[in-house]
Amino acid sequence: MNYFRQSPAQSIIGSSSRFLAGYVLVSLGVLLAAGGGSWDINNHLLNKPETFFAPPHAVLYSGAGAAVAGAVILFLTSRRTGATIRPIKLVVAGVIILVVAGPVDFAWHSAFGLDGLLSPPHFVLVSGMIASSVGALAGMVYHGSMAFRELRLHPLLIIIGVLPVWLAASGMIDMFSLPFSRTDYFDFNPHPALGVTVATLAFPVLISVLACSSSALAGKRFGVMTAVGAAFIATGMLTSIVPNGALVQTLPFYAANIIPFAAADALLSFSRSRISLYAAGAIVALAFFTLYYPLITYTYGKVLEQNTIWPSLMAPTYFKMLGTVMPLVVAPAAAMGILGAAASGKLIAKNKAL
Amino acid sequence: MLLRAIILVGPVAASLALYFSLSLYVFPQSYQIEPRRPEAVITNVSLSTAEVKLEGTFVISVTGTNRGEEADMQIVSIGFPNLTRADNIEVLKHIFVQTPILIDAGKPVGSEYAGNGRPVDAQYASVEAFSRPWAGGSSYNIDLQVRPQTEGMFAVFVKSVAFPHSWDGAHWPHEGISDYQKEFVEVYHVQVTKP
């Protein structure tokens, strides 16, 4: 019997820093790619670029490059340890999708010129971003739980892991809700009612699942959910508000989104009851309409028959519709928030069982 | 237990009240966002000739300027009521930020200074040159080569519209002939003679 031979779990722990580097690189790569994607949407609104070689695309594909490097590290390390766990398979699959989507996107641009938000290559690209970021987060949780012997993660890793998942999944919801997908060749725009339905139901669930999961991964310690919310708000400011000079003065309004996160975070850190979890989910979900400002103006503007929203008038248009939309979306958003909190509880329980 | 619940619920409810009052009332009221006032002007129109033989071509050069605040977009539109197809028009050169669009009759275009908000079908060929955004004080120029298809008086309609269309100064000209888009145009002519 070879007493020096390590078990797969031991060798995984032994290579944990390399695994961690791989996961972090993938997450940061997707974060960069998703941030670049968000900037790209605004760039299309403001400057109507006509070439594939635009600065936001450079950021997007630099992020994809970082994700590829991370996936390579993970793949090689897992081959060396002889244990390719499911999160690594998910990361590798996601990154392969990302790599394939790049040239397909370029070819699509070459064939059809300016493309819309929802196009086959963009759908593939965002799917790859979601798969790889979810894989990286799950991998961090897996290795973190082996080190801590419980389902916990360092607060910084929670932010690094959760934020790209949030941004990539938001990108997917944007594709099926924003009316930015009509071009000379194709009209992939969702029906206005469908767009509003998707946004009203999907954004609150997403916010709730990720915010409640962040809190759970931090052992319900106060601060982490708020920090994840703050990171999302900061990203939104940098990619959606600051590039449009007309919106800069609304930064304090957008910053107020931190309040529901802090309230929900406090609730969860002081009370472990199921009701508190559901209440926290509902509270963060209620903020979806202000959290997805300014682009959500276009989704709801379409159904309110405001067909042309000029970038410089986005803020007054949004504030005009805020009083109409908010009372209508409070109930479904809260319900979806509760659903998201329940799903988060299930997800965490399932991971604990593993 | 009850005290603990009150201690917990009180601050959370207060936070939510603060969030909703800030988001729905305080901040929206505090932003006095007035629409920008771009001023669209056509500063130069020149025709290479006043008379051209059928099958021949002439060149029209148009310069648009924004004398007001930055426009999200400003369009210089050059319409040809005697043409239905834009393949008789060639863009020789331009300095606009985006590529000018050649429009055939039947294609949907905006109207009534509302952008794409009130689309109508184009009734004749035209060229829409635009910059998005168009900074205040800057000018853009386009040169077109046009081949008339019939003898007689060949008309050219020129106009410029800036968006957001927040005041009357956002379009040029301010009066005169109105085209099918219910927008004012300045009319220029070239006499087309037998070859």
CB atoms within 10 A of CB A352: 11
Strand-by-strand arrangement of the B139-146 sheet: B40-47, B58-66, B139-146, B89-94
Instruction: Note whether B23 and B61 are same-domain residues.
Output: no
In this prediction, residue A14 carries a pLDDT of: 57
Measured in angstroms, the CA of A308 and the nearest CA of chain B are apart by 6
pLDDT exceeds cutoff 90 at A132: yes
Say which of B19, B36, B132 has its CB closest to residue A48: B132
Residue B76 near residue B62 (C-beta atoms within 8 A) = yes
- Which B residues in the span 95-154 are in contact with A, Cβ-Cβ below 8 Å? 97-99, 114-117, 132-133
Reported as a pLDDT band with limits 50, 70 and 90, residue A271 is confident
Closest CA to B194 of B150, B134, B130: B150
CA distance B133 to B71: 6
**pLDDT tens per residue across span B141-184:** 999 999 999 999 999 999 999 999 999 999 999 999 999 999 99
Please, what sign has the CA dihedral across residues B123, B128, B134, B137? negative
When the pLDDT of each residue in chain B is averaged and rounded to a whole number, the result is 93
Closest residue, chain B, to A327 (C-alpha): B24
Tell me what ipTM this predicted complex has.
0.87
Residue given tokens 């009357």 in the structure block: B168
Which of these, A340, A54, A53, lies nearest to A214 by C-alpha position?
A340
Tell whether the model's pLDDT for residue A1 goes beyond 60: no
Please name the member of B8, B19, B116 whose beta carbon is closest to the beta carbon of A256.
B19
To the nearest whole angstrom, how far is the Cα of A324 from the nearest Cα of chain B?
10
Out of A286-290, B8-12, B169-173, pick the least confident: B8-12
Q: Which SS3 state, helix, strand or coil, does residue B18 take?
A: helix
Please give the pLDDT value at position A199.
Answer: 97
How far is A289 from A60, CA to CA, in rounded Å?
A: 26
Q: Where residue A9 falls among pLDDT bands split at 50, 70, 90? A: low
* Set of chain B residues whose Cβ sits within 8 Å of the Cβ of A46: 72, 132-133
With an 8 Å Cβ cutoff, is A287 touching chain B?
yes
- Work out the average pLDDT over B21-36: 88
* pLDDT number for residue A314: 92
What are the DSSP calls for A275-305, one per residue?
HHHHHHHHHHHHTHHHHTTTTHHHHHHHHTT
Number of residues written out for chain B: 195
Total domains in chain B come to: 2
Structure tokens, A212: 């409640």
Using pLDDT thresholds of 50, 70 and 90, give the confidence band for residue A4: very low
Chain B nearest-CA residue for A260: B16
Structure confidence at residue A3 (pLDDT): 46
By CA distance, what is A309's nearest residue in B? B164
Mean pLDDT of all residues in chain A? Answer: 89
Indicate if the pLDDT at residue A53 is higher than 80. Answer: no
Cβ-based contacts of A283 with chain B (< 8 Å): 12, 16
Give the per-residue pLDDT at A203: 98
Identify which of A287, A313, A319 has the shortest CB distance to residue B31.
A319
pLDDT digits (tens, 9 = 90+) for A80-97: 887 778 899 999 999 999
pLDDT of residue B7: 78
Question: Are A230 and A163 in contact, with CB atoms under 8 Å apart?
Answer: no
Please report, rounded to a whole number, the percentage of residues in chain B having pLDDT higher than 70. Answer: 99
Mutate which of A42, A45, A48, A288 to disrupt the B interface (most B C-beta within 10 Å)? Answer: A48
Report pLDDT digits (tens) over A203-260: 999 999 999 999 999 999 999 999 999 999 999 999 999 999 899 999 999 999 999 9
Which residues are CB-contacts of B45 (< 8 A; sequence separation ≥ 6)?
A: B60, B61, B62, B63, B158, B186, B188
Residue A60 is classified by DSSP as H
Strands B51-53, B184-193: pairing kind: parallel
Q: Where are the domains of chain A?
A: 10-175, 191-354
For residue A228, give the nearest of A148, A292, A284 by alpha carbon.
Answer: A284
Indicate the pLDDT class of residue A354, thresholds 50, 70 and 90: very low
Chain B: give the shortest CA distance to residue A73, in Å: 42
- If 0-12 CB within 10 Å is exposed, 13-18 middle and 19+ buried, where does residue A324 land? exposed
User: Which residue of B12, B22, B163 is in closest CB contact with A256?
Assistant: B22
Is the pLDDT at B49 greater than 80? The verdict is yes
Pair A192, A179: CB distance under 8 Å: yes
Instruction: Identify the band that residue A338 occupies on the pLDDT scale cut at 50, 70 and 90.
Output: very high
Give percent helix, percent strand, percent coil of chain B, each to the nearest 5.
20, 45, 35
- Cβ–Cβ contact A312 with B under 8 A: yes
Give the pLDDT of residue A150: 65
Contact B116 A308 (CB under 8 A): yes
Distance (Å) from the alpha carbon of B12 to chain A's nearest alpha carbon: 5
Contacts of A326 in chain B (CB under 8 A): 24
C-alpha–C-alpha distance, residues B170 and A312, integer Å: 15
Give residue A41's pLDDT: 87
Give burial (CB, 10 Å; 0-12/13-18/19+) of B10: exposed
* φ/ψ (deg, to 5) at A243: -60, -25
Q: Reply yes or no: is the peptide bond before residue B108 cis, omega within 30 of 0.
A: no
State whether residue A273 sits within 8 Å of chain B by CB.
no
Domain coverage including residue B137: 40-193
A217 contacts A158 by C-beta, under 8 angstroms? yes
- Contact yes or no for A310 and B97 at CB 8 A: no
What is residue A11's predicted lDDT score, i.e. its pLDDT? 56
Lowest mean pLDDT among A50-54, A266-270, B32-36: A50-54
User: Is the pLDDT assigned to residue A310 strictly greater than 80?
Assistant: yes
More confident residue, A184 or B11: B11
Residue A16: partners with Cβ closer than 8 Å, 6 or more residues away? A143, A146, A147
What does the pLDDT read at residue A135? 96
* Domain co-membership, B80 together with B167: yes
Q: Which of A244, A259, A318 to mutate to test the interface with B (most CBs of B within 10 A)?
A: A259
| pLDDT above 70 (res A8) | no
- First and final C-alpha spacing in chain A: 29
